Chain A
C-alpha cells in the first residue's frame, strides 16, 4: 500500500467512519461502505491525490454507496443502532427520538439531511455530491423534514 495513502487513511478513518455512521445509522454498514469507498480511492490514489481533495472524493463515494446500496435491505431495519450519548446533553429523550426518526428516512432523504445539517453544504453542493438537480435536493429535504415533523409537535419547516 502506498505509504502516503496509509498515513492519510490512518488519520481520516475515524472521521469517515463517523460520517458513514451518521449517514447509515448502522455500524456494520458504515464500516462496509467506508472500506469500499477507501478501496476505490486507493485504486485511483495517484490521480485523486494529485488533482482532488481526497477527503471530498471519499465522502462523495460514501454517500453514493449508501444511496445506491440495497434499499430493500435497508428498509427492513426501521431503526439503526442508536449510539449512546457521550455526555449528559439536555433532553436525551429528544435526542434519541431524533435518531430514531432519522433511521426511518429513506437513504436519499437521510443523505440530504446529513449533508445539510452535518456537513453544512449548500443545496448546489449537495446536488453535486448526490448527482442530482438542486430541485431534487430541495424536494428531498422537504419530504425528510415533513417526515421528521410527525415526531415533534412543535417542528417548523425551515427555508
Chain B
C-alpha cells in the first residue's frame, strides 16, 4: 500500500468516528417504518417491482442494441431503445408533445427523444415525489408524473405539504408549485383539462385547472366514505368520478355523479383495491374495470337513479384474468392486459377493446439474459404508439396493426 493508502486507512479506522446511540433511536426507527408502510400501501406497484431489468419485445426487425440475447422472431413492428444512465429502477415514461419523460428513482427527471432513444435533458425537481395509489392519468401506471392542461406535472411532498409541481418540459425546472389544501392525499386524478384531488378523509374534493393549478371547483362528497379514500378516475364528459376507500361495509369502489358543489354517491361495490395490483382501471365510457382475485368485473352507474350495473366482460379476458397473475392498464385509448408466466421469464401483452375487453392484438414479451419480466403494461401513448419501460429499455409498440393505427 502506498503512503496515502496507509494514512487513509488510519484516518478512517480512528476511534474518533464512533458515535453513541441516541436515546429513543429504536422507537424512532419503528415510527419511520410504520410511516413507510403506509406510504407503500399508497403505491404498491412501486414497492412490488423488484429486479426490473431488460425486456425485449420480440420482433423480426428488432435492433437488439445493448439488450444482449437474440430476440425471437414475431410479427410486430416495433422499436426498442436502451437508455443509459437511467439506473435499474425508474417510473414512466409519460408522453408529452412527442417527447418522453421518465422519473428516476433518485428523483431526477429525464427527457427522452423517442426517435433517437437518447436522453436530451436531465432535471431535478426539489421535492419528494409521491407514488399515488392509482394512476393519476390513464396510462400513467402508478407514478407521480402526469400530464394535464398540456402541462407536465409531478405530485409530490415537500416541507410537510402535499403539492403539485409544474415542470417546464424543456428545461425540466419547476415553474410552479401548488400546495394542496390541508389533508393527506393518496393520489390525484387528471383529465385532459383538470386535476382532481380528494383528501383521505373523503369529505372535500377539489378540482384544479390543468394548466395553472388554480382551484376552480370545490365539492363535498355525499355520503362521505370513512377513510383511505383515493380517486381512481374522473370522467368529466360522463360526469362520473370513481373512488376506492373504506365504507361501513368495508373496502369498496364507488361511483359518484359530479354535480355543482357535490359528488353524490350513486352506488358502491365491495372491492379491496389494495389486494390486487393494477386491477382497477377506468373504462373510458364512465365505466370501471375492477379485478379481484379470480374474477374481473365491469361496472357502470345506472342511467337513472342510483345503483351500479354489471356490464359484460369478454370471455377470453375473463378466463385470462381468472387464471391469475394478470394486470390491467390504460394507454393510447386502449385497455391493456399483461400476464407474465409463473417464472416471470416471458409474458403476454394483450391489447383490448376499451369497453368490451375483446382482444385486438397480442404481443409476446421475452426477457433477455434470463432476467425477470415485470411491469409489462404500457404507461403512455396515443392511438399510434405506446411506450413501456420495465427497466433500462424503453419499448415502443406502434401500428399499424389491429390495435394501433
Q: Which residues of A contact B (CB under 8 A)?
A: 1, 6, 9-10, 13-14, 17-18, 21-22, 27, 30-31, 35-36, 38-40, 42-43, 68, 82-87, 89, 94-95, 98-99, 102, 113-114, 117-118, 131, 145, 148-149, 152, 154-158
Closest 7 interchain pairs by CB? A83-B16, A39-B32, A86-B15, A98-B11, A118-B12, A42-B33, A158-B2
B17: A residues at CB distance < 8 A = 18, 21-22, 83
18 residue pairs A–B, Cβ–Cβ below 8 Å:
A13-B21, A14-B19, A18-B19, A39-B31, A39-B33, A42-B30, A43-B40, A68-B107, A95-B10, A98-B10, A113-B12, A131-B87, A145-B4, A148-B4, A152-B7, A157-B2, A158-B4, A158-B5
- A13→B9 CA distance, assembly (Å): 22
Of A17, A39, A89, A145, the residue contacting B14 (CB under 8 A) is: A89
Q: Decide: A1 and B4 in contact? CB cutoff 8 A.
A: no
- A150→B43 CA distance, assembly (Å): 47
A89: B residues at CB distance < 8 A = 10, 14
Rounded to whole Å, the gap between the CB of A114 and the closest CB of chain B is: 6
Q: Is the interface of B mostly helix, strand, loop or mixed?
A: helix
B237 within 8 A of A: no
User: What is the number of contacts between chain A and chain B, taking CB atoms within 8 Å?
Assistant: 111
A30: B residues at CB distance < 8 A = 19
B343 within 8 A of A: no
Q: Decide: A117 and B28 in contact? CB cutoff 8 A.
A: no
A68: B residues at CB distance < 8 A = 106-107
Given contacts A39-B36, A40-B36, A149-B4, whether A14 and B16 have CB atoms under 8 Å apart is no
Q: Decide: B4 and A118 in contact? CB cutoff 8 A.
A: no
Across the two chains, which residue of chain A brings its CB closest to B11? Answer: A98
Q: Decide: B28 and A95 in contact? CB cutoff 8 A.
A: no
B18 within 8 A of A: yes
B303 within 8 A of A: no
Rounded to whole Å, the gap between the CB of A99 and the closest CB of chain B is: 6
Of B11, B18, B106, B107, the residue contacting A14 (CB under 8 A) is: B18
Of A10, A85, A158, the residue contacting B26 (CB under 8 A) is: A10
Across the two chains, which residue of chain B brings its CB closest to A64? Answer: B106
